[in-house]
Chains A and B, each alone.
Chain A
Amino acid sequence: MANNDIKELIIITTLIFLLAPAFLLSYIFVYNRRKKRHIEEKAQLKLVFESELVKTQMEIQEQTMQTIGVELHDNIGQLLSLTSLTLNSIELDNPDKAQQKIGAAIELNLKSIKEMRMLGKLLHGEQLVKQGLEEAIRSEISWIEKSGRFMVTYQVDGEKPVAGNADKDLILFRITQELFNNVIKHSQAANISVKLCFSADEVRLLIIDDGAGFDINNLPETQKGMGLKNIQKRAEIVGGRVFIQSQPGEGTCIEIGIPYP
């Protein structure tokens, strides 16, 4: 009986000792399948991120082209037309008046050249982002200020990490552009304050305006899905967050924080 007990014990122990690694192997299989799924998801996310990056680049280019179009038509075009008119109206019989008009034409021409140079700078907008987010935002602000409708204050706090992150710079720049578009189109603000803060592991962008403001919870359906959702989506793609604070008549404060670099 004792012999049989020991034999049974050995058989049961062996079975248990065989089942334990069998369970371990099953677990490894399950874990490995999860690992595969995780890798696929990561690849998918990377694809989404890359496509979003391309989309962002395209949008920046589109916006640049739009600005250039408007500038050429409204500003440089007008200046050149005026130059042409001035030159056409010169009467060579009246040297004093002619001298005056030539002077005016030269002045108009110089103004056109200055505007063209600024446009040239704008054309290199993407390169500007590559040189630094601070500079790109500064250049964007100088265009807003040119309209004369807004008073913009711009402040950069902290040191940008040397390593940087070109992709995040591009996305944050596009978010800034979209926010400025919103301010220009809807806010009716007079003052805009822009603050860019670099800390050890994060970059924060703060845009405050004293415009009409809006009720976040009662945005019309047509407006809801556009700019703000896009901004939120973009920030989330790079692991960031967006805080919006606004009340009708009390301006708007938007803060975007993105892990950086």
Chain B
Amino acid sequence: MWRYFTINTVSELICSIIALICLSKDKNKVWCSWIVFLILICITELAGINIKIKYIKELDYLKAHPHFQMTVKPNVWIYNILLLFQASFISLLFDNLLKRYINSKPLITIGLAIFSMLYIYELIQHGPFIKHNITTTVLAVIFIIYSFNYFYLLLEDDNYLDLKYSAEFWWVSGTLLFYFGSIASLIFFQILTKLDPHFEVTVPIYKILNIILYSCWSYSFICRRWLTTTSKS
């Protein structure tokens, strides 16, 4: 039971609960839909751990009985599925934030088109049971570009926004910090799979990044519910 409670799952669960409390009555459907996305993340994470436990058990069994065939696959495929939701929900919210300043549709459409092409390419190339690393890396770069674009437009805007209490600002900040911070791990992923098969380096990095990400997102939801004074359109 306690195996299911890791730093990642706990931070994701807390963030989901905060989202449920803060966003359930939000008039903006895009923000509201984030409850579903965060619940999906929690389910994926718990299912991933569950598959991993079964996989390890079967691996131990296989060692004792080599004539048996393995039935459980590693849990990478479930994260590959989550990648689809990740691209959709984050792009959707970026579209919602950027359209206040510019016509964001072309930018978001191009981003999603690149993502779709790479996803299909990697799916054909190596199937769903290996991590879609190129797609994940490019998606991170796309989100970084969106974040920079948002900050640029924010600076350009003549209106003053109290950033301390701006839900949008904290959401984009969390996203930027997470994806920018994870770039190094994503770029060196291929080398790391050989040098560091148990991900001793990347696991703590991702733990820290996840804490930063879900803290920013949670605070952003709190701002959205109680502190943001601008119109919630």
Contact = CB atoms under 8 A, between A and B. Distances in A.
A31 B151 CA distance: 11
A10 B173 contact: no
Contacts of A3: 195-196
Residue among B160, B191, B202 with the highest chain A CB neighbour number at 10 A: B160
Q: Report the interface size class on chain A.
A: 20 to 34
A18 B201 contact: no
Contacts of A21: 147, 173, 176-177, 180-181
Contacts of A39: 160
Contact of A11 (B169, B173, B195, B201): B201
A36 interface: yes
B160 A18 contact: no
A6 interface: yes
B72 interface: no
Contact of A18 (B177, B188, B196, B200): B177
Contact of B151 (A9, A13, A14, A24): A24
B205 A25 contact: no
A37 B209 CA distance: 34
B138 interface: no
Chain B contact residues, majority secondary structure:
helix
A22 B212 CA distance: 11
Contacts of B196: 3, 7
A35 interface: yes
B44 interface: no
A154 interface: no
A28 interface: yes
Contacts of A13: 183-184, 188
Residue among A13, A14, A20, A36 with the highest chain B CB neighbour number at 10 A: A14
Contacts of B92: none
A29 to B, nearest CB: 6
Interface residues of B, number: 28
B154 interface: yes
B185 interface: yes
B183 A17 contact: yes
B97 interface: no
Interface in B164-212: 169, 173, 176-177, 180-185, 188, 191-192, 195-196, 200-202, 205, 209, 212
A62 B205 CA distance: 75
Contacts of B181: 14, 17-18, 21
Contact of B184 (A14, A25, A32, A36): A14
Contact of B163 (A7, A10, A22, A32): A32
Contacts of B81: none
A10 B202 contact: yes
Contacts of B183: 13, 17
B36 interface: no
B118 to A, nearest CB: 21
B56 interface: no
B161 interface: yes
Interface in A143-202: none
B154 A28 contact: yes
A7 B180 CA distance: 18
A25 B178 CA distance: 13
A32 B196 CA distance: 43
A18 B155 contact: no
A100 B231 CA distance: 82
Given A10-B192, A11-B201, A22-B177, 7 more contacts: A6-B191, A6-B192, A7-B200, A14-B184, A18-B177, A18-B181, A21-B176
Interface of A: 3, 6-7, 9-11, 13-14, 17-18, 20-22, 24-25, 28-29, 31-32, 35-36, 39
14 contacts: A7-B195, A7-B196, A10-B201, A10-B205, A11-B205, A17-B180, A18-B177, A18-B180, A21-B147, A21-B180, A28-B154, A28-B163, A28-B169, A36-B160
